[in-house]
Amino acid sequence: MYNQQKMRPNIVIVATELPFVQVNIYRLDTTLCMKYASYLITVVVCWIIYLICLLTGYNTFYEVESVRLIFKRHPDIAVEFRAKNQHLRKACMDFLLSLIETMCQSLEELSNEDLVEADVALTYLRDAGFKVDWLEKKLDHVKVKKEKEQFCVARLQEMEDSLLELWKKCSDLDALVEKEEEELSDTRTPLSLDDVV
Tens-digit pLDDT profile for residues 111-157: 999 999 999 999 999 988 889 999 999 999 999 999 999 999 999 99
143, with CB counted inside 10 A (0-12, 13-18, 19+), is: middle
Both ends of the chain: CA-CA distance in Å? 138
Indicate if the pLDDT at residue 103 is higher than 80: yes
Give residue 71's pLDDT band: very low, low, confident or very high (50, 70, 90): confident
Per-domain residue ranges for the chain?
1-75, 82-186
Long-range contacts of 115-119 (CB under 8 A, 24+ apart): 115/139, 115/142, 115/143, 115/146, 118/142
Q: In the chain, count of helices (H) and strands (E)?
A: 6, 3
Distance CA 23, CA 46 (A): 41
Read off the pLDDT of residues 3-59 as tens digits, 9 standing for 90 and up: 444 444 444 444 444 444 444 444 555 666 667 777 778 777 766 766 665 555 555
Say what the pLDDT of residue 33 is: 64
Distance CA 50, CA 42 (A): 12
CA atoms within 13 A on the CB side of 68: 17
130-142: buried (b, 16+ CB within 10 Å) or exposed (e) per residue? bbbeebeeebeeb
Q: Sign of torsion, CA 60 66 69 75? A: negative
